[in-house]
Structure formats: C-alpha cells, structure tokens
Amino acid sequence: MHVIGTAGHVDHGKSTLVEALTGIDPDRLAEEKQRGLTIDLGFAWLELPSGKSISIVDVPGHERFIKNMLAGVGGIDIALIVIAADEGVMPQTTEHIAIINLLEIPHGIVAITKKDLVDSDLLELVTEEAKDAIQNTTISNAPIIPISAATGENIPELSGLIDHIVTEIPGKKAGRNPRLSIDRSFSISGFGTVVTGTLIGDELHVGQSLELIPSGIEARVRGLESHQNKSEKAQPGSRVAVNLVGVEPDQITRGLTLTNPGWLKGTYAADVNLKIVQNAHMLVRHNLPITFYSLAAESTGRIRLLEHDEINPGAQGWAQVYLDHPLPLVRGDYFIIRSTTGTLGGGQIIDASPARHRRKHQPTIDKLNKLKDGSQLEILLESLSDDHPTPLKELLTGNFLSVDSQSDLMKELEKTNSARVLHEINGDVSLFSIKAWHKLLSKTHNTTSDYHSEFTLRKGIQKEELRNKLNLSTSLFPAFLQHLAVEGVVLVEDNHIRLPEHKILLSDKDASEQESILRLIENDGFASVNDLPKNPELIMYLSDIGQLIRINQEIILSPVAYKDMVQSIRIIIEENGKISVAEVRDKFQTSRKYALALMEYLDQQKMTRRVGDERVLR
C-alpha cells in the first residue's frame, strides 16, 4: 500500500483534481465548503487500473495552513504537484516543492490543471516553469501532464501514470514496531475514539495493546479501517483509521504516535543534518528560534549549530534541535524547520536521543558524518557509548542497527574485536565500545587494588560490592566477570574477587597477635572476641583460612573444639532424636549464651533445624 499527497498553491485545483480522480470530495469541513479552499487535511483513495489501491492525502495550499500541509506530507510516497495553467508557479508551489525535496520524497508527478482555461502557448510556458521549479530536486524527473478536471481531459492518463509509478516503488520493508503519527482524531457515537494516520513500521492488529507517545497513555485497538473497509490488520504504508479503547477523545492531539509499548519515548533534542532551502528568506543563525515539524508532530524550539555560527541559503550543516515540548522522534525520520514567515530548511534525524555536543568540535562532526554516511558497522560502532555499555535492544529501537543485519554484525564485531559483546544471563545482549571496555577494566583494576590496599588481610572484594561500584546490572555483571576471569584480569574465589598478584602478608604485629589468639583458643577451646587483641581484620583472616571458627560477632572457637562439639551434638540427637540449648550448655559446661550461639550457628550451617525450643538434625 502506498500514499500519494497533493502539493501546490492555494486555489490551483488540488481538491477538485482529487475528486475527479476518485469521485471523493476530500474537503470534509463545512468551512472548507463555504470558502472553497482546503484548510485541514483531506483524504481519499483511488482504485488504479491494475487493481491496486492507493491512498490520497489532500493538503491545504494556503500559506496560513502550512502546518496542516506538513502534517500530511510526511508519510507520502508520491508527490502530486498541482500547478494551475492560468497562474503558473506561485509562492506556495515553490515552498511545497522545497519541502518535498527536503523530505527526500523520490517520486513525483506534476499535474498542470485548468488546461481548458488557457491556450497552447500559455500552457507551454507554464510547463517550462514547472520544469524549472522541480529542477535539482528529488523529483526532477517527474513527468508533467496537463489536465482538466472540469472536462475530464487526461484524468484517465493521470490515473495510469500513477499506476505505473506505484508498480515501480518497492514494497514497504516491515520494521520492529508499528508507528502511526496521528494527523486526525474524532469520536463516533457507539464506538468512541478514532484516530487516523499513515502507518509505518510494522502491522497493526485488532486487539493489540498500544501506547500513545509522548503522553504514555495506553490503549487497545478495537477496530481498523482503511478506505472504508474494516480489517483485522493494517499494513505498513496504508492510510488507517484506528478505533481505540481506553483513551478519551480529549486526550488525543495531532502529532501523538501510536505504537507498541515500552520502546519509544518523547525527546527534547535531536542531532540533525540540516539543509537550508535555496530561497530561504533569512540566514539560519546559531540559537535561532524555530518551529520543528516531523511527520504529524510539531514543537517550537531553537536550532543549535555545531559547525558554524550561521548557515547560508542552499548550504547544509550539522545541528542539534532543542524542543520546547517532547516529540516521538526516531533516527531516520525527516523534518522541516520554519520561522514565522516561511520554510527555512529540513533534513534527516541522525540521533533522536543525543548528548549535548561541544560546538565546533571536529571529533563530534566526524562521528555525525559516520552516523549519516558510514557502513552498518561504522554506524554501529559510532552509536556505542564511550562511558557505559549499550544494550542491543537500544540500538535496534534507535534505528542504529537493523534487524536484518544484526546477526552478521555481531559476528563481525566479535571477529574483528572492534567492540565487546556480552551475553547477559537474562538473554539480553550489551555492547561495549573499546574505549568504554578499557574504562571499565581500569575501574575494575583500580577498585580491586584500592580494596587490597585498604584491607590487606582479606582475600578480595566481594562480588556484590564490586558490582555496585562498577554500576553494572545483576544480569550483565556475571558475563563481565566471566570475561575477566578467562582473560586472567582477576581471580574469582568463592564470593571474592582479587587481582592475580595479590598476596596476603602478615605484618610483624599481625603475626604476633595471631600467635596469641591461636594459643588462647587452643587452651580454652573458645573465646570471646572482647578477650582477644583488637584486630578485627586479623580475626576475619584467621576465620577465612580456617584457623578459628567464628560462630557470631562475639564468640570464636578453635577448629578442634568445634569439631568435637559438633560430633557430640550429633551423637546426642541421633540417640534422643533432639537436643535442647540447656542440654548443650550442660554438656559443655558453658553458659546459655554460648550454647545458644553455637546452636544458631549450626542452624545456619544446615546441620540442625529448630523445632520449638529444641533442635533436630536436618
């Protein structure tokens, strides 16, 4: 399915031509009927000689309604330029052609209307004007056909010409997500909210759950209709009316995008390749206030030039657009900027969620050039952050990576080692630029080294502590740790991580206190931490290497005493089926405090289990 859009000066016969082609009057508003001009978007459809069906968007030609024109022209495949033979090329003709060129619409037809009102000499003159008007544009090779909607002359030929062009246009490639930029909304009694737009991306289905961006309102598809035919699904490239459940009509505004939940957000900024129209009425200067249009969405904002302080008419340059209101933009979308008096320029969105860039910074310009014109691999590498991992799904939703090329590019990345690819335990994939990877390695080494310096008697930093310091997710960290261990960057021992060169060396003071502690617990079998030298790091170390058993923060046992106690307790339980804290106290002639601590420790070690006031074996 494809969409054709009219363009041209006011009162040049666009709507009359559409009605002559289709039998449908696209002027749907009473005010339009009364004034005889199109104010808002009109819609119709045409059954072509080949049997194919094409949607038609009729846009207003009056300068005051240019924003409505821009809302309709964004999703079209073929531009139908309408020029009246009795007036020729007029200001809005020129502006509309400039807009079509900025949007890089590749296919066009020029229809010279009102042929019946002029002689052959004037018709020839207007035809030459039309050729000049489309010269050096994306539709410079568009066929020019004179017609008369009043007499019907050449109307069938125009229909055949449209059919021929449609046949040559390749089918729409499906994307990951459907997107419907809403250009009209209304309410139907008994059905509720209906929105319309040109569907791009993927299919829509009845019953599908969707989200309105940037409002975040969720809705469900109750019904779909295209060309007054109800359907269970709508194809990309078609004009669609969507009956929604879960949203009120007053919650809908033009420019909202209807799409799958969870992947698209409104953005206040975008990196753009900005082309200024040849006949721009003013210089585009840094920080110029503008109105920004993309598909059916619009917002006021300002243009921040990245290369120069101004861009001359006919020139182009890199810029960041800063918007006053969030818009649902995606990399690859086209846009138009206007001042209060006319169209200034437009181009393509290169990054819909950029960081703020330094101006006149050549590495930034080089990166933007690669994002625009580079190979798929170059685009992918340039889109990776140099500060943190980039999720693969973010690259897909941001249009930095196509679904079709995903598998081959991942293999090429791993083969060339131009980026690190980590497969997370939840099935997600994250990519590191080489710079981001080295930053993370350096931070890991420094964090672990600092830990060794501060805690000289510990085996290493605990996994969770290191993960938090590195700010990695619980899903990504195990994959990262495995890479480090395989490469020998760190050693993983139980729950601890250490550098390969780290060794525990006791100071003379530590060695002396170690001797005192071991002598004390060997004599008595147990001891209170309060009775030992005040060296908690040494006690933790001796516990780690098994030279003492720490049953809680206050009580420690010698390994020999602990083994004997465990054996005695096991024998009693096996004989009697159970043991109480009092029995443990009496058996070892100790206090209830020590006996209770020992039994709670055995519970933690999964040897015993508490049942009421007694313990049984697990």
Q: Give the 3-state DSSP-derived string for 16-47, with helices as H, strands as E and coil as C.
A: HHHHHHHCCCCCCCHHHHHHCCCCCCEEEEEE
Band of pLDDT at residue 312, cut at 50, 70 and 90: very high
- Over residues 495-506, mean pLDDT: 91
For residue 524, pLDDT beyond 70: yes
- What lies within 8 Å, CB to CB, of 320 at 6+ separation is 269, 270, 271, 272, 303, 304, 306, 354, 356, 357
Identity (one letter) of the amino acid at 164? Answer: H
Percentage above 90 pLDDT, the chain = 51
- Over residues 466-473, mean pLDDT: 94
Asked if 613 and 596 touch (Cβ cutoff 8 Å), the reply is no
- Over residues 388-399, mean pLDDT: 82
- What lies within 8 Å, CB to CB, of 283 at 6+ separation is 310, 311, 312, 313
What is the structure's pLDDT at 73? Answer: 62
Question: For 102-121, what is each residue's pLDDT tens digit?
Answer: 989 899 999 999 999 999 99
What is the structure's pLDDT at 12? Answer: 81
3-class secondary-structure state, position 109:
strand
For residue 32, pLDDT beyond 80: no
Token pair 């033979």: residue: 85
CA–CA gap between residue 393 and residue 390 (Å, rounded) = 9
Q: DSSP character for 354?
A: P
Residue 571 corresponds to which tokens in the numbers above?
């024998």
- Over residues 281-301, mean pLDDT: 93
Band of pLDDT at residue 608, cut at 50, 70 and 90: very high
CA distances from 297 to 78, 252, 484, 593 (A): 20, 12, 47, 72
CA–CA gap between residue 149 and residue 154 (Å, rounded) = 9
CA–CA gap between residue 240 and residue 258 (Å, rounded) = 12
Which of 217, 226, 300 lies closest to 256 in space, CA to CA?
Answer: 217
Identity (one letter) of the amino acid at 132? Answer: D
Which segment of 168-177, 407-416, 484-493, 608-617 scores lowest on mean pLDDT? 168-177
For residue 253, pLDDT beyond 70: yes
Which segment of 99-113, 152-166, 248-262, 396-410 scores lowest on mean pLDDT? 396-410
Which of 284, 276, 287 lies closest to 336 in space, CA to CA?
Answer: 276
Q: Which domains does the chain have, with CATH numbers?
A: 2-168 (3.40.50.300), 179-259 (2.40.30.10), 267-363 (2.40.30.10), 375-505 (1.10.10.10), 508-617 (1.10.10.10)
- Average pLDDT of the chain to the nearest whole number: 87
Buried residues in 474-495 as b, exposed as e (16+ CB within 10 A): eebbbbbbebbeeeebbbeeee
Q: Count of H helices and E strands in the chain?
A: 18, 36
Question: For 570-580, what is each residue's pLDDT tens digit?
Answer: 999 999 999 99
CA–CA gap between residue 583 and residue 568 (Å, rounded) = 11
CA–CA gap between residue 598 and residue 591 (Å, rounded) = 11
Buried residues in 434-443 as b, exposed as e (16+ CB within 10 A): eebbeebbee
CA 510 to chain centre: 55
Question: For 52-86, what is each residue's pLDDT tens digit?
Answer: 888 888 776 444 445 555 655 657 889 999 999 99
The more confidently predicted of residues 394 and 83 is 83
